[in-house]
Amino acid sequence: MRKVMTGHKAVAEAMRQIEPDVVAVYPITPQSEIAEYYAQYVHDGVVHSELVPVESEHSAMSACVGAAAAGARVMTATSSQGLALMVEVLYIAAGMRLPIVMALANRSLSAPINIHCDHADAYLARDAGAFQIFCESAQEAYDYTLIAQRIAEHDKVRIPGIVNLDGFTLTHTSQVVEPLEDEAAKKFVGPLKALYPLLDVDHPVSAGTFAMPDYYFELKRAQAAAIEEVANVFLKVQQDYASLAGRRYAGFIEPYRMDDAERAVVVMGSTAGTAKVAVDGLRKKGEKVGVLKVWLYRPFPYAEVAQALATVQAAAILDRAFSFGAMGALYSDVAAALAHSERRPTLANYIYGLGGRDVTVDQILQAFAELKEARPETRLRYLGLRE
Amino acid sequence: MADELKGWKDLPLGGVAPGGSARELQKTGSWRAQRPIWHEDKCIQCLQCWLHCPDDSILIHSGKMTGIDYDHCKGCGLCAAICPKDALEMVPEREGTCAK
């Protein structure tokens, strides 16, 4: 049944249906409502999760690690500085191969202090070893929370997963969302198979072990294989979900009017919606333009991005955060994807929307206009910035 | 301890160590700074030391404490701290080694 709800409520609904054994969470703007909704569910007896109201995000992720290592299904949510505080333990969760799924309400990092949207937090956690999905809408935030849970807990994966939704733009605005019925959602996610349950005293293990130069490298290589495996699992789980829920999800990326596009923008998150509006306008004027939205950010879909951009003449890669001292992080990935292609577009890299700066259709139109004159270059361009 | 190091595909997920597998490593207590000395005459066989030892280094035979596994003991001192009869005493490793 279609309902009107915020992105937060959509994520909380998915969490309610998943009903993890443990939710350890510390509220931070703009993620707080997820924690609040879930606390309400626990208080009302709607779910039987153990809610651990910790004293910091470092503790939140630590509690998640402990519970997940013990064999529990675990979820959390955070944003910005909260993720920064979690990151130390997020690396540990990934290294210990614990399937912890978290919503990340994307928000800028200090300083200066700012509570609004950009992708600096997601980029901060980029190399932690968690898979990352970016959502365009509240519907996607709901859908990909269920999908992420299945992926994270897959036998060959077993790593944390981050579901990104733009702070305020998605978390606090009301949209139409069509959730699954509870039973269907629960059946889709299925039961967690605990690998080393703490109470299995006949098969005890030590978790969080020590590895010297003789084994550290091999253990990290095995971890790399796990996140590579996400790609295979993602496609299958996404397909299962799409047929169950009647969505048109197919692949790591969503091409929008890309079939004969000569110019394209590559983008993640809610700005994809803005870019689609810009493209619709330009298409009416006969311009051959399109949008390439990236759903799966880690592991990065190099081959699919290269193929999608192979016939495009010029592409603007939009990064909603700096990677200081370098080109934007998404740009670097796209450039790497195209490095071995015989046919590849001229690329431009735009930094946009930092600290909640409004992202307008005009900004996207500006990028498309400048792409007409695109030349090979290695410099940052900006959208919506005062000189 | 196996002489051949395993490849990355043959390691337990997340690097977990199966229970008791540390015993396969011959000496993990070599960096001990202090060692526990067991005074058998004071020991009442309450086994609190065995219960608390995080490295399974209290040797037990037929249900009785018989000594300390110095190959694996890290010298943390929990056994001496928990002992109700001061039957375990921590001494600097060098002195303890000499005393033996």
pLDDT digits 0-9 by tens, B37-67 = 999 999 999 999 999 999 899 999 999 999 9
Q: What is the pLDDT of residue B20?
A: 81
B33 and B73 Cβ atoms separated by less than 8 Å: no
Task: Write out the residue range of the structural domain in which residue A352 sits.
Answer: 253-383
Structural domains in chain B plus CATH codes: 40-100 (3.30.70.20)
> Is the domain of A142 the same as that of A241?
yes
Give B92's pLDDT tier (boundaries 50, 70, 90): very high
Task: Tell me, yes or no, whether A141 and A200 share the same domain.
Answer: yes
Looking at CA atoms only, how far is residue B16 from chain A in angstroms? 5
The answer, for A214 touching chain B at a CB cutoff of 8 Å, is yes
Please report which confidence band the pLDDT of residue B94 belongs to, taking 50, 70 and 90 as the band edges: confident
Contact at CB, A211 and B12, closer than 8 angstroms: no
B8 and A221 in contact by Cβ < 8 A? Answer: yes
φ/ψ (deg, to 5) at B60: -125, 135
State which of A224, A245, A266 marks the end of a domain: A245
Statement: residue B99 has pLDDT above 70? no
Residue A129: its chain B contacts at CB < 8 A? none
User: Rounded CA gap, A131 and A158, in Å?
Assistant: 10
pLDDT at position B95:
63
Q: Are residues A257 and A314 in the same domain?
A: yes
Q: Which of A195, A204, A211 sits opposite B15 (nearest CB)?
A: A211
The domain that holds A267 is classified in CATH as 3.40.50.920
Is the pLDDT at A245 greater than 60, yes or no? yes
Of A201, A220, A245, the one marking the end of a domain is A245
What local confidence, expressed as pLDDT, does residue B100 receive? Answer: 42
Domain shared by A18 and A73, yes or no? yes
Q: Looking at the structure, do residues A265 and A218 belong to the same domain, yes or no?
A: no
State how far the alpha carbon of A18 is from the alpha carbons of A13, A14, A101, A378, in Å. 9, 6, 11, 45
Note the helical H segments in B1-63: 48-52
Final residue of a structural domain among A245, A270, A285: A245
Residue of A nearest to B54 (CA): A206
Rg (CA), chain A: 21
Mean pLDDT of chain B: 90
If asked whether residues A154 and A25 sit together in one domain, one would say: yes
Region A10-30: mean pLDDT is 98
How do residues A158-176 score in pLDDT, each as one tens digit? 999 999 999 999 999 999 9
Question: What CATH number should be reported for the domain holding residue A56?
Answer: 3.40.50.970
Answer yes or no: is pLDDT of A285 > 80: yes
A117, pLDDT greater than 50: yes
ipTM above 0.85, yes or no: yes
- CB within 8 Å of A201: residues ≥ 6 apart: none
Which member of B16, B20, B22 has the closest CB to residue A207?
A: B16
CA dist A8 → A34, A57, A66, A348 (Å): 5, 18, 26, 33
Indicate whether A216 and A144 sit together in one domain.
Answer: yes
- CB distance B7–A218 less than 8 Å? yes
For residue A73, give both structure tokens.
């299904």
**Whether residues A324 and A364 fall in one domain:** yes
By the 8 A CB rule, do B37 and B96 touch? Answer: yes
Task: Give which of A159, A174, A31 is closest to A97, Cα–Cα.
Answer: A159
Q: Residue A108 above 70 pLDDT?
A: yes
Q: What percent of chain A has pLDDT over 70?
A: 100
Number of domains making up chain A: 2
The A296-298 sheet, strands edge to edge: A50-53, A22-25, A74-78, A101-106, A161-166, A131-134, A296-298
* Residue A44: partners with Cβ closer than 8 Å, 6 or more residues away: none
Same domain (yes/no): A211, A64: yes
Q: Is A204 found in the same domain as A71? A: yes
Is B79's pLDDT higher than 80? yes
* Residue A151 shares a structural domain with residue A118: yes
Do A79 and A193 sit in the same domain of this protein? yes
User: What SS3 state is found at B31?
Assistant: coil
What pLDDT, in 10s, does the model give residues A325-339? 999 999 999 999 999
